[in-house]
Every structure is written in structure tokens, then in C-alpha cells.
Amino acid sequence: MKRGTTARGTTVFLKFIMATTGLVFIGYLLLHMYGNLMVFGGQEAFDNYAHHLRTFGEPMLPYGGLLWIVRIVLIASIIGHLYAALTLWNRAKGARTTKYAVKKAAAASLGSKTMRWGGVAILAFVIWHLIHFTIVKPAINAEFAANDIVASPYTMVVASFQLWWMVLLYVIAMLAVGLHLSHGIFSAQQTLGWTQSRASYVRAKAIGHAVALLIVVGFLLPPLAILFRIIGD
Amino acid sequence: MTTTTHEAEVAAAPREEGLMNLTLKIWRQNGPRDNGRLVTFKVKDISPDMSFLEMLDVLNEQLQAEGTEPIAFDSDCREGICGMCGLMISGEAHGPEKTTTCQLHMRSFKDGETITIEPWKADPFPVIKDLVVDRGSFDRIIQAGGFISANTGAAPKAEAILVPKENADRAFVAAECIGCGACVAACPNASGMLFMGAKITHLGELPQGQPERDARVVSMVNQHDAEGFGGCTNIGECSHACPKGIPQDVISTLNKDLRTALKRGR
């Protein structure tokens, strides 16, 4: 048998990068979702939670230390996920340069078919989301003062999601995330070799759909509750 | 009875029940360097009991009679076990049934239907002519590690090495792969993972496959990538197209084996 070759750099290795970084995102999304749901506890609870995220681990960590650790892990994961995705996308394009005149997709789910462009759309949304709630915090809703928005995360969130078109934007983005996860979570398990039997394969698909649904619903509850004035007034 | 009356009788005879007239759009390509194009042909009075390849035989006889060059396509055993035939039929590898092209029958089609027939399209499977592709890349993947290095000699006693039933069954399911290439043809990424996963699972489930297990997966995956196949995105088109129904979990076993090899420093 031929020696001297390595598993590193192979297409399957790139898939391991996709899968592990993807699982980092799932973990982060679940924590983020938990934080968002604190909005149902009222202004004080939500603002305290946001403050505690920054003082977490003090004095062992500096102010905002935990957030920066999380951010660095996320940035590294995005770079890895994107690098592997683009490399594999490019390979796939090169593997069939003459297209079929007629080609049916018999087994592909909507989620699996939209992984690549859906991923690009999610990246665009994440950039907007960071500008919206972290970097710029623009005062889009004229009913709220810019000072109040910067001072209280609760006010910032309420001001944003009282606007129907902003909620619509986030609903569309969350559906895109849900579609991406419905295939991605299953795909990560398959890639990591956790689905070596029929039963575990079916279970992996079910886990993928369930977690995707949980994340979509969990993230959409606060904006919709604010839009319909259940909270925030 | 004169010849003339005989011909008149044949012409007057009612058309046999269920015969079909079909429009075929077939990929014609003179050689590897030609660009290729779809050409339309008509065939008449095709019996639903014919196999798909027999229908093409009829067309080729017709073309030969007209002085047109017959369409080149691969076939060998015509009983679904050799893996030689394989056509993209109206966008589905081996057509609408879960079988090989040679075992596909014309009863799966309707009178008046237009059928598009293309070769497997993947850069690691270059077209030789018309519907014939070169699947040498599969052979090279097998040569890279899809075997066990055993001394040959007299066959050992069957019970000399015991294999648990579950492992034997799974090895057998994976060993059913005939290497036809439908998985690659159906895959949106033109990936060869199902083919490779089948061999890795087949040998990996058996005691004889263990000593070379790590080296096998690393060698085969490297060869697969060097041949220019795409990566797997776990969509499942391959298993759906596979005439032998090789399941997706063999790809998971391949992934697990590569991960284990990586952990052991390969």
C-alpha cells in the first residue's frame, strides 16, 4: 500500500473543519438564544445580564474578557468555516465542468440545496447584525433617543423590534439560519462519523431538524413579542 | 404467397398492444476533445418488454441502415452485476427505477415520451465517445488501497477466522458495489465518496481489513482528491441513484476511519 500520504488537506479533512466550526456556532447560538430570552424578564434583568457578560470572570479576566475570548473563538471559526466551504465549493465546480442538459434532484432537501448561497446570505446578515447591535448601534426608531439606546441594551432591542420591517428582516434571516442548520447539524454528525448505522443516521437527521427548529423559534420569540407589544411597552 | 401480399399483411396487421414511439435526445461526442451536443432521434414500435439497452440496439440498427454512425454506449453482462453500463436518463442516473440501465425496462416509460440520454458527467470520468466514459479513476482509487495484502495460496477454512453476523452483513451490503459510477454521476459535487465508502466499509467490517485500515483510507481519499472528484456535502443523491442501494452510512464510516487515522498521526 502506498505510504507517505497524509489525511491533512484532503476533502474529508476540510469537511472536519466545516463540521467542528459549525458545532462551535451551534453552541454559541444556543447561548445567544438563552441570553435573548432574558428580555422576557424585563429591562433590569436583561440589562443586568448584558452587564454580567462583561464582568464575568472578574478579576481573573479583565472587563469584557469573556466576550473577547468568545469573539476570538467565533472569528477563528468563521475563518475556518469559510475557508473550507469556499475550497470545497471551488473543487465541486471543477469536478463537473460540463453540465447536464437535464438533472433531477431526487434526494436533496431544500436545506441541502441552499447551503452555499444560504451561507453567504447568513454571513451578510451577521455583518448587518453586528453593525446593528454591537458596532454602530444606529438609532433607527425615531421614538427613542440615541443616548437611551446606547445606555440600555433593553431599550436598543425594543426600539429596533417595534419596527415591522426590522422584524421582517430578522424573520427572513432566522428562516435562512434554520434552513442552513436543518442540513448542517445532520451533515456535521455524518462528517464526524457518528452515523454508522441506519438508526443513528435517522437520529442525526431528527436532531438536526429539532435543534434548527428550537433555534429559529427561540430567536424569533423576542422580536415578535416586542412587535406585538407583549413586552417592551 | 408472394412477398408483396406478405408485406401488405404486415402493414395491415393491428399494432401490437403497448408499443411505444419515443423521441430520444442523445448526447453525441466524437471524442474526448469534442464539445458534444444533444441530437434528436425517433424510434418506433418499442416493446415495453425491451430493456433500455435493447431499445438503443434498435436505434443503432436503424442508424446503421441509414448509414449514420451508431451511438457508442457501454454494456457487458446485461444482468445488472458487472457495473459496465450506466446512462443519465432524463436527469436520473440509470433512469427512474432503482436498477442498472441494462435492467431498466421500457415499461417504465410512456408512449410519446421524450427521453434525454447523457453520459456520466464528471471531470474524473472523461467522455471517450458519445455515452462511453473512462472510469479508470475508480480503478486507481481501488489500486491506492481498496484491497488487503494477503499471501495467496490454498483457500483457508471458512471457519478459521470468525466474523460476527452483524459485521458480515454490513460488509456484504457494502461489497455489493459494482463500481458503475452512478453515485458520482448523481452527486451535485461529482464526489466519489459513496464508492470509496463502500470499499472502506466492506474491508473495515472484516478482520482481514484491519491491519491496513488507517493507510487504506488515507491513500484512497488522497487518490480520490487527486483524480479531481468533489467533496461530499451529505445530500444523499448518491445512495438514491445507487442500483445496489448502498446506504449513506458507509460515508460516515469512511469519515470515521479518516478521523481515526488522523488521530494516529497520519
Same domain, B11 and B121: yes
Instruction: Give me B24's grid cell.
Output: 430520444
What is the edge-to-edge ordering of all strands in the sheet holding B37-46? B37-46, B20-28, B114-118, B88-89, B92-93
Instruction: Please give the residue range of the domain that contains residue B226.
Output: 135-149+159-263
Residue A119 lies in a domain: yes
Q: What pLDDT shows up at residue B1?
A: 39
Average pLDDT on B153-164 reads 87
Please tell me the distance from the alpha carbon of residue B57 to that of residue B146, in angstroms, as a whole number: 35
Angle at A28 between CA A22 and CA A34, to 5 degrees: 140
Distance from CA of A175 to the nearest CA of B (A): 20
Same domain, B8 and B124: yes
Average pLDDT on A201-205 reads 96
DSSP letter for each residue of B20-39: EEEEEEEEE-SSTTS--EEE
Distance from CA of B258 to the nearest CA of A (A): 7
Question: Which positions in chain B touch A95 (Cβ < 8 Å)?
Answer: 122-124, 189-191, 228-230
Say if B47 is an interface residue toward chain A (CB within 8 Å).
no
More confident site: A59 or B16: A59
Average pLDDT along chain B: 93
**Which 3 state secondary structure label does DSSP give B116?**
strand
Residue A178 lies in a domain: yes
What b/e sequence results for B28-60 when a residue is b if at least 16 CB atoms lie within 10 Å of its CB, and e otherwise? Answer: bbeeeeeebeeeebebeebbeebbbbbbbbbbb
Residue B212 lies in a domain: yes
Which of A228-232, B102-106, B128-132 bottoms out in mean pLDDT, i.e. has the lowest? A228-232
ipTM higher than threshold 0.85: yes
What is this structure's pTM?
A: 0.92
Instruction: Give me A189's grid cell.
Output: 454528525
Average pLDDT on A125-131 reads 96
Average pLDDT on A119-135 reads 96
pLDDT in tens, B191-204: 999 999 999 999 99
- Are B88 and A99 in contact by the 8 Å Cβ rule? The answer is no
Interface contact A11-B191, CB threshold 8 A: yes
Q: How confident is residue B153, by pLDDT bands cut at 50, 70 and 90?
A: confident
Same domain, B119 and B140: no
Q: How confident is residue B157, by pLDDT bands cut at 50, 70 and 90?
A: confident
Instruction: Please give the residue range of the domain that contains residue A211.
Output: 11-95+109-227
B69 Cβ contact partners less than 8 Å away, ≥ 6 residues apart: B63
**CATH number of the structural domain spanning residue B8:** 3.10.20.30
Instruction: Give me A233's grid cell.
Output: 411597552
Same domain, B115 and B173: no
Please tell me the distance from the alpha carbon of residue A64 to that of residue A84, in angstroms, as a whole number: 30
Distance from CA of A41 to the nearest CA of B (A): 41
Closest chain A residue to B190 measured between Cα atoms? A95
Residue A1 lies in a domain: no
